[in-house]
């Protein structure tokens, strides 16, 4: 999830980022 051109991160993008981060953490 990357910040939009305006510098604002959409809530869904932040959510996806958190989920992916949890997946990676769970693997290790």
Q: Quick one: average pLDDT of 6-12? A: 73
Predicted local confidence at residue 3, as pLDDT: 61
Cα–Cα distances (Å) from 6 to 1, 2, 9, 11, in that order, read 14, 11, 9, 14
* Domain positions in the chain: 1-28
Examine the pLDDT at 8 and tell me if it is beyond 80: no
Predicted local confidence at residue 1, as pLDDT: 60
Instruction: Specify the higher pLDDT residue, 16 or 2.
Output: 16
Mean pLDDT (the chain) is 80
């Amino acid at each position: 999830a990357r910040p939009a051109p305006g510098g604002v991160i959409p809530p869904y993008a932040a959510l996806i980022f958190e989920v992916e981060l949890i997946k990676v953490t769970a693997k290790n």
